[in-house]
């Protein structure tokens, strides 16, 4: 058996090369993503900037602590404030009376040159005492790097998941198709006395050898690619400037054994089928696709398809806002994609007969060969389906959400001009002008007795001007009723209606105050409410001014506010998110190219007898090349069509979710990205089919 194994590996090295490259690349990407993930868990210790020379920092409280019910008793729950509270004046006086105190950039923290234990004893629970690396919490925006690492962790996790998904799919499909092409060989082995168990062990041994070698090569490839990934993430603004790859070993172990497991798993199903077929049946059916969709594959594909559709419907009905999140529209379509890909042999024949393939004998042969050779056509169409569907759902969903936010922003203001900036200067309205200034803030609300929820809110400077210019989606109440004793909420406040009171803690932790609900807004894309007046938003800085009327005097005043003046508000997309999606799609496209090239090189190389028969029947060499390349192009077209169907289903669910949120339904199909992906697939497929066909027809 070993001699048969190694002779087979030597004689069929070309057919194993594609699987080796695909698996090695998958393991390499898993190592790269794993090393990147490991680096996000172990951020280097940063030195403080604001109070670098002070051994101890005393900072105002930066957390709101409330008791909530947990079972029979209560437990304290902390929520971070928007900014730390000022240090108590009494604490400052006591500190200055005993030690040297350094103030820097605001009243929220001071540096103290004193022993930490003595400072803690003096301050008690009236403020926070920070030492060592904790002093960085007093720096401006201390959570910036932490937020970047959380986003980077999510991106690398998603990319690793897509890598695993696509690699398993491509490698398993490659193994299954390679085994299907060897049925005549297995029939001869069975005729020579080989048992089904020996056939299965032969295939599993081949997969094990290939898996070990490819996984080892992939680990080496990942070690080289991880530093390049880190530089790319830093240059693209997705990671802090200090981000580097560490020396973790678990990504290598995880990726290596995952690669071996994928290779073996890809061979298991194919080896079971190869071992079950008798010698006579194997010889008779070697060139006929009579059982292209086994029962197990049909059941699994149907289950995944129904599960994907069910999850889309359930999410749309119960939590439509989740459909607007990148995590959802990146992962949820994978169930649909896998289900349709597994059922592709069932769909190939009817779709192939529907698509146009040209006129004359060449066109007829292209259509009929594609419909008859179901395995070959499905093996080419499936990876194209994966790439096109990922391109359509990722970029289509992201673009649709961005455009919905832009449309919603345009609809929600009657202003002629909108000024935006971090800290705008107040503007005095000229004659005939209406100005509404708002700023970002937060409110804390007790959700029943068991939770405390922090909501991002907007602070309104002039409620009357705000009500005049705002065109928010009010479902109950009136914006004109907003004052210092009321609040405008959205539909997330499920238990509160107009006229009822809400117990609210302000952004600085002060409160509680009881505010009457003046109006309730539709949830929309996530930017609708709550709204409070500036009296209930201490420390809030102006970051937006809506203006109407007043002519050029208003425009000059707005320009002097220190912000950017635009005719309308345009949220726009996040370039970092787009870079992340390009990374995910690039992984899928590389795998698709490898899978297509490998499949078509194998499939066309074993068609020597068929192509020779066509030559004997009078076909020219050019006609045969057009038939072979036409079949490849038609298979790519089938995969593209199926991918567009999956994209349409996902975008349709997104549109239904936007409608349920009372947000503008603006769906965008990314034709440029889909066309580029399909064009790349078609080019590779045609070249991979033409090369062996040209060699066989010399």
Q: Tens digits of per-residue pLDDT, 380-429?
A: 888 899 889 988 998 898 889 888 888 888 888 888 888 888 888 888 87
Rounded mean pLDDT, 467-493: 90
pLDDT value of position 531: 94
Q: What is the mean pLDDT of residues 687-694?
A: 87
* Residue 645 pLDDT class (50, 70, 90 cuts): very high
Q: What is the mean pLDDT of residues 82-99?
A: 85
Residue 674: per-residue pLDDT: 92
- Please state, in angstroms and as integers, the Cα–Cα distance from residue 604 to each residue in 21, 162, 373, following that order: 19, 29, 12
Task: For residue 117, count other CB atoms closer than 10 A to its CB.
Answer: 11
Compute the distance between CA of residue 569 and CA of residue 407 in angstroms, rounded to an integer. 9
Tokens coding 47: 């030195």
- The answer to whether the CB of 385 falls within 8 A of the CB of 635 is no
Closest CA to 384 of 159, 670, 597, 605: 597
- Cβ–Cβ under 8 Å, residues 245 and 39: yes
Which pLDDT value is given to residue 285? 46
pLDDT tens-place string over residues 214-266: 899 999 999 998 888 888 888 877 777 778 887 888 889 988 998 888 888 77
Q: What is the DSSP letter of 507?
A: T
Mean of the pLDDT values across residues 545-557? Answer: 85
**85 preceded by cis ω (within 30°)?**
no
Residue in 405, 499, 495 with CA at minimum distance from that of residue 453: 495
| Structural tokens at position 674 | 């889909």
Q: How confident is the model at residue 457 (pLDDT cuts 50, 70, 90)?
A: very high
Q: What burial class does residue 683 get, using C-beta atoms within 10 Å of its C-beta: 0-12 exposed, 13-18 middle, 19+ buried?
A: middle
Mean predicted confidence (pLDDT) in 133-143:
78
pLDDT (mean) for 176-204:
74
User: Residue 464's pLDDT is what?
Assistant: 92
Q: Binning pLDDT at 50, 70 and 90, where does residue 576 land?
A: low
Digit-coded pLDDT (tens) for 425-436: 888 877 778 889
Task: Determine the Cα–Cα distance for residues 149 and 244; give it in Å rounded to an integer.
Answer: 12
For residues 492 and 431, is the Cβ–Cβ distance under 8 A? no
pLDDT at 374: 80
Higher pLDDT, 25 or 544: 544
| Token pair for 351 | 């779709």
Quick one: three-class SS letters along 268-335?
A: HHHHHHHHHCCHHHHHHCCCCCCCCCCHHHHHHHHHHHHHHHHHHHHHHHHCHHHHHCHHHHHHCHHH
pLDDT level of residue 286 (50, 70, 90 thresholds): very low
Do the Cβ atoms of 357 and 698 come closer than 8 Å?
Answer: no
Share of the chain above pLDDT 90, in %: 14
Rg (CA), the chain: 32
The highest-confidence range among 54-63, 234-243, 414-423, 461-470, by mean pLDDT, is: 461-470
Answer whether residue 26 shows pLDDT above 50: yes
Nearest to 338 by CA among 552, 184, 165, 507: 165
pLDDT for the residue 519: 93
Model confidence pLDDT, tens digit, residues 321-352: 888 887 787 778 888 888 888 888 888 878 77
Q: What is the pLDDT of residue 61?
A: 84
Percentage of the chain with pLDDT > 70? 89
* Whole-number Å distance between alpha carbons of 112 and 101: 5
Q: What is the pLDDT of residue 516?
A: 93
Report pLDDT digits (tens) over 64-87.
Answer: 888 777 777 777 878 888 788 888
Average pLDDT over residues 91-106: 82
Rounded to a whole number of angstroms, the distance between the first and last alpha carbons of the chain is 36
| Structure tokens belonging to residue 457 | 């809110």
Helical (H) or strand (E) element with 417: strand 417-420
Q: Cα dihedral sign for 672, 673, 679, 680?
A: positive
The answer to whether 420 and 543 have CB atoms below 8 angstroms apart is yes
Measured between alpha carbons, how far is residue 170 from residues 262, 332, 587, 601 in Å? 10, 19, 12, 15
- Mean of the per-residue pLDDT values of the chain: 82
CB 127 within 8 A of CB 88: yes
Token readout for 525 is 């894309």
**158 pLDDT band (50/70/90 cuts)?**
confident
Whether 579 and 236 have beta carbons less than 8 Å apart is answered as yes
Q: How many CA atoms lie within 13 A of 264 on its CB side?
A: 12
pLDDT at residue 524, as a whole number: 83
């Amino acid at each position: 058996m070993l001699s048969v194994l190694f002779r087979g590996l030597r004689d069929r090295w070309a057919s194993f090369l594609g699987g080796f490259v695909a698996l090695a690349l998958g393991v390499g990407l898993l190592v790269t993503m794993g090393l990147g993930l490991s680096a996000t868990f172990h951020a280097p210790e940063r030195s403080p900037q604001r109070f670098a020379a002070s051994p101890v920092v005393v900072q105002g409280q930066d957390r709101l602590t409330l008791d909530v019910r947990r079972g029979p008793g209560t437990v304290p729950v902390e929520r971070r404030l928007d900014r730390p509270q000022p240090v108590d004046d009494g604490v400052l006086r006591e500190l200055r009376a005993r030690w040297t105190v350094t103030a820097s950039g605001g009243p929220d923290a001071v540096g103290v040159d004193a022993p930490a234990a003595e400072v803690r004893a003096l301050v008690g629970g009236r403020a926070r005492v920070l030492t060592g690396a904790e002093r960085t919490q007093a720096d401006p925006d201390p959570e910036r790097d932490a937020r970047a690492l959380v986003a980077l962790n999510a991106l690398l996790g998603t990319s690793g998941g897509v890598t695993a998904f696509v690699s398993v799919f491509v490698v398993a499909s490659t193994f299954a198709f390679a085994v299907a092409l060897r049925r005549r060989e297995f029939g001869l082995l069975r005729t020579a006395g080989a048992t089904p168990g020996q056939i299965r062990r032969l295939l599993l041994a081949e997969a094990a050898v290939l898996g070990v070698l490819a996984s080892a090569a992939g680990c080496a490839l990942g070690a080289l690619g991880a530093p390049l990934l880190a530089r790319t993430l830093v240059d693209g603004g997705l990671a802090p400037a200090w981000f580097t790859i560490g020396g973790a070993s678990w990504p290598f172990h995880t990726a290596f054994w995952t690669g071996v497991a994928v290779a073996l798993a890809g061979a298991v199903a194919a080896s079971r089928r190869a071992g079950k077929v008798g010698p006579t049946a194997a010889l008779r059916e070697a060139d006929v696709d009579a059982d292209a969709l086994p029962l197990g594959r049909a059941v699994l594909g149907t289950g995944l398809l129904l599960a994907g559709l069910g999850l889309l419907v359930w999410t749309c009905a119960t939590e439509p806002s989740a459909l607007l999140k990148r995590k959802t529209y990146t992962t949820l379509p994978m169930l649909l994609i896998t289900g349709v890909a597994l059922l592709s042999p069932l769909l190939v024949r009817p779709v192939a007969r529907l698509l146009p393939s040209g006129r004359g004998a060449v066109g007829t042969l292209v259509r009929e060969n594609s419909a008859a050779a179901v395995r070959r056509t499905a093996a080419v169409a499936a990876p194209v389906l994966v790439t096109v569907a990922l391109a359509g759902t990722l970029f289509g969903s992201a673009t649709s959400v961005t455009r919905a936010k832009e449309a919603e922003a345009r609809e929600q203001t009657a202003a002629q001009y909108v000024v935006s900036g971090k800290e705008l200067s107040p503007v005095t309205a000229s004659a005939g002008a209406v100005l509404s200034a708002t700023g970002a803030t937060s409110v804390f609300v007790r959700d029943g007795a068991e939770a405390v929820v922090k909501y991002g809110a907007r602070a309104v400077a002039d409620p009357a001007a705000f009500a005049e210019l705002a065109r928010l989606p009010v479902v109950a109440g009136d914006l004109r009723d907003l004052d210092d004793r009321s609040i405008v909420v959205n539909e997330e406040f499920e238990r509160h209606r107009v006229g009822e009171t809400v117990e609210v803690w302000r952004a600085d932790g002060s409160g509680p105050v009881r505010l009457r609900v003046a109006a309730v807004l539709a949830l929309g894309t996530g930017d609708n409410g709550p709204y409070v007046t500036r009296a209930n938003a201490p420390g809030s800085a102006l970051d937006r001014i809506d203006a109407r009327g007043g002519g050029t005097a208003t425009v000059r005043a707005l320009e002097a506010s220190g912000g950017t003046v635009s005719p309308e508000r345009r949220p726009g997309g996040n370039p970092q998110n787009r870079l992340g999606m390009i990374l995910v799609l690039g992984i899928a496209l590389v795998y698709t190219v490898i899978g297509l090239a490998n499949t078509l090189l194998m499939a066309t190389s074993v068609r020597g007898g068929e192509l020779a028969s066509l030559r004997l029947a009078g076909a020219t060499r050019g006609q045969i090349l057009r038939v072979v390349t036409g079949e490849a192009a038609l298979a790519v077209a089938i995969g593209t069509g199926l991918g567009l169907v999956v994209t349409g289903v996902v975008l349709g669910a997104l549109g239904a979710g936007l409608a349920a949120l009372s947000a503008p339904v603006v769906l965008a199909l990314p034709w440029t990205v889909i066309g580029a992906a399909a064009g790349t697939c078609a080019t590779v497929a045609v070249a991979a089919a033409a090369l062996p066909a040209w060699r066989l027809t010399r």
